Every structure is written in structure tokens, then in C-alpha cells.
Structure 1
Amino acid sequence: MHNQRRNRPPHNPARLNSDPNRIRNIEVNKNFNTDVCIVGGGIVGLSTAYFLSLNKISVIVLDPDSIGSHASGFAFGGLSPLGEAGQVDEIISELSVARLGMSIHTEFAKILPELTGIDIQHRFRPALDLAFSDEEAKEAKDQVKWRASEDGYSVEWLEAKEVLDMVPEISNEINGAVFTKGVADVEPYRLMLALTTACEKMGVNIISTKARGLGFDGHTATSVISDRGDIHCNSVVLAMGPWSLNASKWINQKIPIRPLKGQIIRLKSDKVNLQMSVGWQGNYACTKPDGLLWAGTTEEDVGFDDSPSSFGRDSVLASLTKMINGLESAQLIHHTACLRPLSNDGKIILGEVPDTSNLYIASGTGRKGILLGPGMGKITSDIITGSSHNYDLTPFNLSRF
């Protein structure tokens, strides 16, 4: 396999009519006011801003880095509320948020390109969840029934011959696979650019600065302290991803979120063209609209090191070549790494911060940030605006720790 490694994939801002480094250089002073200040400009923060702005709520988003420069821009972009084999408890606990996220992505696919001119490359296409051993096959078959009960999806078990007839590139060592229709994927970087552009068109101010703390009047959050001044507001949303722990001292409560590193490679192959997502034991591969075969991922507890590594590359390649044949002459074009926010129990943290007023947190998506982010943003927006009181966020409250 040829190796042409690059740490960051080259995007073409001119072609997308958007510049990833164009976060506005707005003058902020100590008297600046807004309805809601959101700390964090990833998929969760921007989704929250988007839905708030639809309700004519003034919003400022603070982020020290450029658009899509972390996990929200470097994710794989798979969209499946049904998850993967072996994840039943985790999936069911967040299924309502995942369903909402999936629905919003379908809306985004129609609305965002029209509003911004940016193709987010959202596509519905099937997925194969491979099983190699008898044990993996039994586990997968046991889950077909409950997966198939979800509205909008077709789920069935396929024997090895059926799988290989469908996708000849798959390893002939498989036992079989779960075949799912109704799932989708999106290009996360383009999604972030489109969401940012849409937010700005609706009046959201995105400011390049680092938040340093919060101002309170008793238990009520009243401002965000940043490197460029204080932003006075009626509500604050902490959507800080893997950096959420930094806000623990602001609220005098520990936010148990740590970074989970993941790496993805993109290959150019003349022999392999996967027009459906192929997965196995948390690994995945598919050919995206850019013509490259995207494959991942790793789960590394290495702190805030987000640099691509030979370990990550080799780990992803090992899983990929176990799943897929014909990659001997493939060329490695891109190799990226990012940090996902993982809570101590693996579930999202969502809702009002305990013992405070007007202060909300939305984080802990783990590997499912692109799927869950829009749903978390909609829920947070609805709570702030009083649009709905039907959400039971008890399982996701920070007080559970």
C-alpha cells in the first residue's frame, strides 16, 4: 500500500463558498448583551444556535478555533440510530435523541443546501454489519428483531454467500452480516460549513475567543467571561465537547468528560468502491462522494493528543483489510485524528446544570456526535424557549454522577 500521509485533508473554501477560518472578528466589550451565549462551536453548539435563531432568539457562539477543526469536522459522518452489534443498552438509552437527530439530518439535507449553496453530501444508503465468528453471528442475529421493529428501517440477517454476492470485495471469511436499509451518512466538514453559514444568515454572531468563566447572580448564570470581554446574557449553554471538564471549576461541579481519540484514513483504490457502509466491531468503511475509501477508527485514551499516529494508521488498516479484499495497491491519501467527548458512563450529559438557573450543558456524545448533535441542539433550544416540556432528561442529567 502506498503511503501519502497528510495530517489534515485539504478543503477548498472557495469551491464551498465558505472559509473555515472566517469566524467573525467582532468587537466585544463589557456591555455586550445577547439572549443566549453558547460556549463551543461544534455540531452541538451550532445546532443549538440554529434552532434558537429560528425562534428569533439572539445568540452569540464563542469558540477559539476555526470551523470544523475538531471532531465535528473530522468525523466519519455515519447516521444510524440503530448503532452496531453489542451496543444495545447504550443505544436504547439514547434512542429518542438519536431518532430526533436522524429526523433533523433529513431536514438539514433539504434546507441547508438551499439556504447556503453548500452540498452536505447527505445520502441514504444501506449498511452491512459483519460477523466473522459464530459468537459474533449469534449476537448479531439476536439483535435483528428489535432493530427491525424501528419504524423506517429494514433489517435482516444475510448468510455469507448473500453478502458476497452483494459486495464481492468483502472478505470470504465472514459468517454473515446484518443488512440495514434506511441509514445514511453525511460529510461532516461540509455540514459544519453549511450550519455555520445558515446560523450567520439568521443573525447568530460567532466570535473567535476563549471562554474563561461564568458570571452569576446567586445561582443564575448572567454572563460568560472571555478573553475579549464579558458577554452578558439571559442563558448560557456549555457545548464544549472534550474540553467540558474545564468548566467544572466554573460551576463548582465536576463534569466527568474526557477526550476519546479516534483516527480515520482515506484511501484511493481502483479496485474497491463500496456503495454501502461496511462495519465490524466498531470499525467501518465506505466510499464517499470524493471517490475515496474512508475507514476508521480507533478508541484511544491518550489525553488531548490529537495528532495522527502510525499506531492509529496501522490499527485502522488491520481492521480494514480484515473486512475488505483488494486493497494491496491502494494509496493512503489522508490520515486524520480528532477527540470525541466521552462521559464516565458513556452516555450524553444534557439539560440544566443542577443547582443553577439558566445554565445548560450538552456534551458527552462519544462517537455519535454527528448523529446526536442536532437532536441535542433542538432539545436544548426547546428547553430555553419553553417550546416543549415533554423531554425526560433525567437519564442524562449531570446529577447522576
Structure 2
Amino acid sequence: MSNSVRDVVVIGAGIIGTMSSYLLSKRGLNVAIVDADALGSHASGLAFGGLDPLHGMGLPEPLLDFSLHCFTRHQDIARELRDVTGIDHHFQTRNRLYLAFDEDDVRQYDTSLAWMKDVSMFDVGWVDGDDARRLEPKVNPACVGAMYQQGAASVDAYNLTLAAARAAEQQGTELVPQRATGFKSRGSRVDAVTFADGQVNAGAVIIAMGPWSQLIADWCDTELPVQPLKGQILRLRYDGPAFDVALNYRGNYIDTKPDGLVWTGSTEEEEGFDATPSATARDVIWQNAVQMAPDLGKAELVRQTACLRPVTPDGMPIVDRLPGWDNLYVATGAGRKGILWSTGMCDIIANMVMQGDVEVAGAEHLRVDRFARV
């Protein structure tokens, strides 16, 4: 690889790295993805894959327009990737019930409904407890009502990452199974990404390393405010009927996935870079699941996963060219919204690399210099 030259070198083979590589290679650039780990072997491949642009950090302001852009792009890219690769990442509409068990929950949802009802892409309204159970009979009898959101979606996050990588490869992207160790630079330009036994020369470099993006502080004297947030998910075998709608309550969720298993989670743990599943998390997740759907107390645990999501202090991603550098870019920090936001983040970064502008609604809120403002 010592004589190899690429228009763009992307460090990281998660959803951001693979999707941005696909978009850039489709536009004719010569791209390489550098990562010693397997495709989607971290958060991108283990994520639940929910696509709900109305809930999460930065919503409704300042990221509603950005989130809606991301959701619409998923609809387009789902068809495109399936046609190009033959890999089905199971994009499907999944309506959701956000359950309420007391008056505090009801008041919280009333606040959300006040603005969500005006988002034309979705039909969001209130149902009482009986109607919630008609929509999903497994809902806890103690549920007093729910916010019913029609039009959200979900994907198989691993297959999405795999499809993006395969599509990129078909456009000429090379996967380089090496661990990046640093940069070679001249002045304000990065010339190469180095690894233990070589390097790959680059016209531009994109950092898409999830929480490990903070490592570039040692490579280019730039501090990125990105930390790992551990999240754990249970995959359950449940002998009853599949869930007709996804259930949500205070950051927890339940849904039947295309693999036939019921997925439920997720935790938010500040445990550094420890990605070990724990019995404590298992018990908490299962308890929360049983509160939403008591029948899951009879389910069988098939698999417990843990991954490290990249998060920033304000919960919103960083997608930008790094200050002081002409050709060094970063896209990370999407936390629990990484799969949803991946399409918009990659649109932004691809536009920056190709033409210097952005043309994606809300991109101005994702600049890295927001953390330097007083």
C-alpha cells in the first residue's frame, strides 16, 4: 500500500464510513476504507435500527429539518442499495406506541403532540389505553394511553452497513484491513494515513471512527469532544404472535425484527470503552420490557449485545471540516440516532469533500466550532 493513492481515505467501516464511501465513489472518486475490524462490528452492526425523526436529542429544534431529510433519504437509499447489491436491509414502516402509565407521562406527550401533529410526513395522535391494546394486545393493562405515531420505520442496521460497503466496492472502493495509527501531513494538509506496515496516500481524509475518533488528538493536535456511551440490547425468543407495532416508554423499546426475535433495549452507560454485556443491564432491560408488555416475562434470552455509541456534550453529531486543515473531515457523534442520521451526515460530508458546500438542511448546527463558542 505504500505507493497507493486515493482521492479520499475514510477511516472507519461503520455506517458512516461505508455510506460516505458509497456516495463519494458513486460520484467518481477513488476511495479507500481503512479499518482493521470487520464491517459493522461495533455500534453500526449491533444497533436496533429504528428510524424515527421525531424523537431524540436536538428535536424539534434545531434538528427537525435535518432529521426529516435523513428519513426521506433512507427511503430512497433503501431501494437503491437493494437494486445495486441484492442485499435486503429490511426497510419497513413500523408504527409506534409511546406508552403512558401516569399523568406525568400524559403531560410529557401532550407537549410533544403540540408540535408533532404539524409534521405532515407523519400521523401522530393520542389513543386511550383500550385503543392502545387494540393496536397491540400485549400492551400492559396498566397503560392509561399512548401517543400513536404512524409512518416511522426500521432497518436491519448490519445489513444496511453491509449493503453500503458492497455498493461502494462495486464503484471501486477498496477495503483496507489495517488499523490507522496516524497521519503524514505538510502544513495544513494531510497527505497520508499511516498504519503499522505502510500507508495510503490521500487527497482528503474522513474520520468516521465512532467514539474512537477522539484518537486523532494524538495525530493532528485536534481535540474532538466525543465519548463512548455504552448501550445494551436483548434479543428474545417469544412464542406468542409478533408485535403489531413497536412499543416505546421512557427511552426503552420493544419490536419484532425481521429475524423473528423480539429486540428490546437500551441502556445508556458511561463505562468508557468497556463493551462487555452485564447481568445488571440484562435485568434492567428485561424489567422495562415487562412493564410495557408483561408477556415478555415468559420469553427466552437468545443474545445480549453491547456496543459503544459516539456522543458529544450536546447530543448532536459533528459533521465538518476540521479547523486548521484543508482536507481533513470528521463525521461522528450521532449517539442513539446514528442509523437514522447516517444518510444526512454522509450527504453533508460528501458534499463538503466534492464541492465545499453542504446543501443539507440543518447542517450548520453540526459544525465542530459550536463547542468553542462562548
Q: TM range, normalised to the smaller chain?
A: over 0.9
Aligned-residue offset at 1:174? 1.4
2 CA distance for matches of 1:394 and 1:105? 21
2 CA distance for matches of 1:296 and 1:42? 21
Corresponding position: 1:57 with 2:29: yes
Which position in structure 1 is the counterpart of 2:314? 345
What do you get for the CA RMSD once the two structures are aligned? 1.5
User: Could you tell me which amino acid in structure 2 is paired with residue 42 of structure 1?
Assistant: G
Aligned residues of 2:50 and 2:155 also touching (Cα < 8 A): yes
Deviations 1:249-305 (A, max 9, x none): 222121111110111111111125212211000000001122111101100111111
Aligned-residue offset at 1:91? 4.5
Gaps of 5+ in 2: none
Aligned-residue offset at 1:243? 0.4
Which position in structure 2 is the counterpart of 1:32? 4
Which position in structure 2 is the counterpart of 1:77? 49
Task: Please show how residues 188-199 of structure 1 align to structure 2 within 5 Å.
Answer: 188-199=157-168
Aligned residues of 2:214 and 2:223 also touching (Cα < 8 A): yes
Aligned residues of 1:43 and 1:373 also touching (Cα < 8 A): yes
Question: Which one is further off, 130-139 or 266-275?
Answer: 266-275
2 CA distance for matches of 1:128 and 1:395? 30
How many pairs align?
A: 370
2 CA distance for matches of 1:270 and 1:181? 26
Question: Which one is further off, 390-399 or 201-210?
Answer: 390-399
1 CA distance for matches of 2:298 and 2:52? 31
Corresponding position: 1:282 with 2:251: yes
Gaps of 5+ in 1: 1-27
Aligned residues of 1:349 and 1:398 also touching (Cα < 8 A): yes
Question: Which one is further off, 281-290 or 139-148?
Answer: 139-148
1 CA distance for matches of 2:78 and 2:230? 28
Which position in structure 1 is the counterpart of 2:366? 396
Out of 24, 42, 66, which is 2:14 matched to?
42
Corresponding position: 1:187 with 2:189: no
Corresponding position: 1:333 with 2:292: no
Deviations 1:76-112 (A, max 9, x none): 000011015xx5x445223333222212211122121
2 CA distance for matches of 1:112 and 1:269? 31
Which position in structure 1 is the counterpart of 2:185? 216
1 CA distance for matches of 2:297 and 2:27? 53
- Following TM superposition, where does structure 1 have runs of at least 4 consecutive aligned residues deviating by more than 3 angstroms? 387-394
Which position in structure 1 is the counterpart of 2:210? 241
Q: Secondary structure at the match of 1:326?
A: helix
2 CA distance for matches of 1:393 and 1:102? 15
Deviations 1:6-42 (A, max 9, x none): xxxxxxxxxxxxxxxxxxxxxx11x210100111111
Aligned residues of 1:90 and 1:347 also touching (Cα < 8 A): no
User: Could you tell me which amino acid in structure 1 is paired with residue 224 of structure 2?
Assistant: I
Identity between Structure 1 and Structure 2 (%): 35
Structure 1 residues 91 and 252: CA distance shift in structure 2, 3 A: farther
Aligned residues of 1:104 and 1:374 also touching (Cα < 8 A): yes
User: Could you tell me which amino acid in structure 2 is paired with residue 119 of structure 1?
Assistant: D
Which position in structure 2 is the counterpart of 1:304? 273
2 CA distance for matches of 1:345 and 1:193? 30
User: Could you tell me which amino acid in structure 2 is paired with residue 45 of structure 1?
Assistant: G
1 CA distance for matches of 2:108 and 2:221? 43
